[in-house]
């Protein structure tokens, strides 16, 4: 970045789903945007979710009808925008009468089906479980409904690419050291965490989308008290060998009134989560506890014939959700809604701060944020994000794209073709540009990861470490041996930060 680029309409602090979504929306309207993120894109909360595009069935119990309605409507929008990283998922809910009566569940599912227009997904229905199914023998009846799956980390990266495609500057691993109002603008001081280089930029409007750090940023960089506090709630997941055949997911009710999802994950695994635990401290250091592992195993084993023990846990991750502090008694009741605060003193540059939110409503939140900021930018155009596909999503169906890639690159193995479509969509053509055979793909590091893919991720998707590639841009770390992972890390010749994820 040179001095000619140092003056922006908008500087966004935070490279999670909300920050990159805001950057993409604003850049698409013609604003000059810079986004900085102190770590890798999606390195915190936005890569450690349950990976669902959903209305939130259980939020109906807390009367959050507006949030559920908005999320259900967005579910339809997002499934069309990114068919490579999102797809419909059918959920089965075993009925346990002593926890919630059938009439209550039926009413909830009726609302879920009708609160917002539903075109892409089938309606809910009652079902019976057979003795040949995966569930324990005491579970006979249940319900079935639809939601959606998303690769959360890739959702963030694709929004960053969309922002860049519209002219935005995206700089991960760059910390905002300070931001001060000066001469009707923000003077923002940034530090490149790799080189230590100091960058100074100015902008007309500053957006604080720092997620779990949104309140903390006021003290560390802005030098002022936050307008509101957030509540940090840790949600942990475990990954185990595939518990059952079939593509359906399960939503399990527990005695404490919480629910736990069991979801098919990366072909060979099941993803189980999540917990809700109050958290304090550095969000980057959040780790699953023994109590959380036992909690998730207990609920799962109460429902499935194929029981699992602690030694079956292959991996785990914990994300810290920045929820609105609504002073509710327990974490599971805390609202998943969002709000934003605008500080715009007369004749001074505005500051907008985002509090709360969930992945499903990120696009709507981003649109609303830029709508509010448009009063300061009268030349800004309309939002494009509702109709514009995310990068790589401009195809009619995965099957048709697989066929097109097979025709264009007949030497590409079928399994690799399928994974590329599910990861990159039509961006696969960029990845394979100029490559004419498997030998030209370069070194194979294991689990179908070739040098050509690594090169693409470094050049076009801001990947800088083995962790960026193996656990966020792809999930291939799950499929590689310990030796393959160690070799791949060594080839990067970097000292990766210690992490408590059980990789």
Paired sense of beta strands 230-241 and 259-265, if any: unpaired
Tell me how far apart the alpha carbons of residues 411 and 402 are, in angstroms, rounded to a whole number. 13
For 472, residues 6+ apart whose C-beta sits below 8 A from its C-beta are 40, 41, 42, 43, 47, 153, 157
Tell me how far apart the alpha carbons of residues 52 and 46 are, in angstroms, rounded to a whole number. 11
Please list the residues that pair with 239 across neighbouring strands. Answer: 271, 315
Residue written as token pair 């009468």: 97
User: Omega before 229 cis (within 30°)?
Assistant: no
For 265, residues 6+ apart whose C-beta sits below 8 A from its C-beta are 239, 271
Output the tens digit of pLDDT for each of the chain's 503 residues: 554 469 999 999 999 999 999 999 999 999 999 999 999 999 999 999 999 999 989 888 878 899 999 999 999 999 999 999 999 999 999 999 988 999 999 999 999 999 998 888 999 999 999 999 999 999 999 999 999 999 999 999 999 999 999 999 999 999 999 999 999 999 999 999 999 999 999 999 999 999 999 999 999 999 999 998 889 999 999 999 999 999 999 999 999 989 999 999 999 999 999 999 999 999 999 999 999 999 999 999 999 999 999 999 999 999 999 987 755 555 555 566 889 999 999 989 999 999 998 999 999 999 999 999 999 999 999 999 999 999 999 999 999 999 999 999 999 999 999 999 999 999 999 999 999 999 999 999 999 999 999 999 999 999 999 999 999 999 999 999 999 999 999 887 544 444 444 33
How do residues 398-454 score in pLDDT, each as one tens digit?
999 999 999 999 999 999 999 999 999 999 999 999 999 999 999 999 999 999 999
Q: Of 501, 473, 467, nearest to 486 (Cα)?
A: 467
| Domain 398-492 in this protein, CATH class | mainly alpha
Helix axes 414-424, 398-408, angle to 10 degrees: 130
Is domain 87-149+231-325 given the CATH code 3.30.9.10 in the classification?
yes
> What are phi and psi for residue 135, nearest 5 degrees?
-80, 155
Q: Taking the complete model, does pTM exceed 0.85, yes or no?
A: yes
Structure tokens at 192: 């490149």
Tell me how far apart the alpha carbons of residues 252 and 249 are, in angstroms, rounded to a whole number. 10
Q: Where are the domains of the chain?
A: 3-45+154-229+336-376, 87-149+231-325, 398-492
Q: Please state the separation of Cα 445 from the chain's center in Å.
A: 26
Q: Of 299, 261, 255, nearest to 54 (Cα)?
A: 261
Structure tokens at 257: 């009134």
Superfamily of the domain at 3-45+154-229+336-376: FAD/NAD(P)-binding domain (3.50.50.60)
Tell me if domain 87-149+231-325 and domain 398-492 are identical in fold: no
Q: Please state the separation of Cα 399 from the chain's center in Å.
A: 25
| Residue pair 397/83 in contact by the 8 Å Cβ criterion | yes
Q: Of 277, 313, 278, 268, nearest to 294 (Cα)?
A: 313
| Residue pair 271/51 in contact by the 8 Å Cβ criterion | yes
Kindly write down the DSSP assignment for every residue of 357-418, as one continuous string: --GGGHHHHHHHHHHHHGGG-TT-----TTTSPPTT--SS-HHHHHHHHHHH-TTS-HHHHH
Tell me how far apart the alpha carbons of residues 370 and 209 are, in angstroms, rounded to a whole number. 13
Length of the chain: 503
What three-state secondary structure class fits 339? strand
């Amino acid at each position: 970045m040179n001095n000619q680029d140092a003056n922006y309409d908008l500087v966004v602090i935070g490279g999670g789903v909300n920050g990159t979504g805001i950057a993409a929306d604003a850049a698409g309207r013609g604003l000059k945007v810079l986004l900085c993120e102190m770590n890798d894109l999606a390195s915190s909360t936005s890569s450690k979710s349950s990976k669902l595009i959903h209305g939130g069935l259980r939020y109906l119990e807390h009367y959050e009808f507006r949030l559920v309605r908005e999320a259900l409507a967005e579910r339809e929008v997002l499934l069309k925008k990114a068919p490579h990283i999102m797809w419909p998922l059918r959920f089965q809910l075993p009925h346990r009468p002593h926890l919630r009566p059938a009439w209550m569940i039926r009413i909830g599912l009726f609302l879920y089906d009708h609160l917002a227009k539903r075109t892409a997904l089938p309606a809910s229905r009652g079902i019976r479980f057979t003795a040949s199914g995966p569930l324990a023998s005491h579970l006979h009846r249940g319900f079935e409904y639809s939601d959606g799956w998303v690769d959360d980390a890739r959702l963030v990266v694709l929004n960053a690419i969309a922002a860049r495609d519209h002219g935005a500057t995206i700089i991960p691993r760059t910390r905002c050291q300070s931001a001060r109002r000066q001469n009707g603008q923000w003077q923002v001081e940034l530090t490149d965490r790799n080189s230590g280089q100091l960058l100074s930029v100015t902008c007309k409007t500053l957006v604080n989308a720092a997620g779990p750090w949104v309140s903390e940023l006021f003290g560390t960089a802005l030098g002022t008290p936050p307008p509101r506090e957030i509540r940090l709630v840790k949600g942990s997941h475990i990954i185990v060998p595939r518990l059952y055949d079939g593509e359906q997911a399960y939503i399990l009710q527990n005695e404490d009134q919480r629910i736990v999802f069991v979801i098919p994950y990366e072909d060979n695994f099941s993803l189980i989560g999540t917990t809700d635990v109050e958290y304090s401290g550095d969000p980057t250091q959040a780790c699953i506890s023994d109590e959380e592992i036992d909690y998730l195993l207990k609920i799962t084993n109460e429902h499935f014939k194929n029981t699992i023990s602690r030694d079956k846990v292959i991996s785990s991750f914990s994300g810290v959700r920045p929820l609105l502090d609504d002073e509710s008694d327990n974490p599971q009741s805390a609202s998943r809604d969002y709000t934003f605060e605008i500080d715009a003193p007369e004749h001074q540059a505005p500051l907008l701060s985002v509090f709360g939110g969930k992945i499903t409503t990120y696009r709507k939140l981003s649109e609303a944020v830029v709508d509010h900021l448009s009063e300061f930018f009268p030349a800004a155009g309309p939002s494009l994000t509702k109709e514009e596909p995310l990068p790589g999503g401009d195809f009619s169906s995965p099957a048709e794209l697989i066929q097109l890639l097979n025709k264009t690159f007949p030497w590409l193995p079928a399994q690799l073709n399928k994974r590329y479509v599910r990861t990159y969509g039509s961006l696969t053509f960029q990845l394979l540009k100029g490559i004419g055979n498997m030998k030209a793909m370069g070194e194979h590091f294991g689990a179908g990861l070739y040098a050509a893919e690594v090169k693409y991720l470094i050049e076009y998707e801001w990947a800088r470490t083995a962790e960026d590639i193996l656990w966020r841009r792809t999930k291939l770390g799950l499929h590689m041996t310990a030796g393959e992972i160690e070799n791949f890390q060594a080839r990067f010749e970097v000292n990766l930060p210690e992490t408590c994820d059980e990789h």
